[in-house]
Structure formats: structure tokens, C-alpha cells
Amino acid sequence: MNSSLSISRFQKQMMAEHYKRAVDCKNSGKPVVYVTATFPVEIVRAFEPDIAIVYPENHAVNLIVNGMAEELAEIAAAR
């Protein structure tokens, strides 16, 4: 198997698990924090080790790559 392909699959799996954890936290009433790429997440982890941390920049890229950005932008604009 091509190593770059296996790395890509691994990264996709990691990101899916990361966002699933954030959704699970939200659904169970646990806090989810959005931070920017330059924010030191260690500060949040020091006070709330079980908090879900999400980076909006990564989420936006994920939506673009998966072809969902235009559809979701239209939904957001309609609201």
C-alpha cells in the first residue's frame, strides 16, 4: 500500500474521531470550546482536561475538502 495513502486514511480517521468526540460532548451537555490555531490549548486542558477543543479553521477546510462548504454557506445565509 502506498504510504501517503495510508497516512491520508489515518488522518481522515483521526479527524472523524476528533469531531465525533466534540459532537458527543455537545450532546451530553459537556462544554465544547472553539479556539484559533495560535491559542495555547494547554491553558484550557489545565483547567478542563475533558473539554472538547475544536479549531474553526480546520473545520472550514474539512468542509471545503468534502464539498460541503457551498451548501452550508447557503443554509447559514438563509438563517
Average pLDDT, the chain: 88
* Region label for 34, one of left (φ > 0), alpha (ψ between -120 and 50) or beta (otherwise): beta
- Specify which of 7-11, 29-33, 55-59, 61-65 reaches the highest per-range mean pLDDT: 29-33
Burial class (CB in 10 A: 0-12, 13-18, 19+), 10: exposed
pTM for the full predicted model: 0.65
Residue-level pLDDT at 58: 78
**Per-residue exposure over 29-65, b if at least 16 CB sit within 10 Å of its own CB, e if not:** eeeeeeeeeeeeeeeeeeeeeeebbbbeeeeeebeee
Residue type, 18: H
Residue-level pLDDT at 12: 84
Residue-level pLDDT at 1: 54
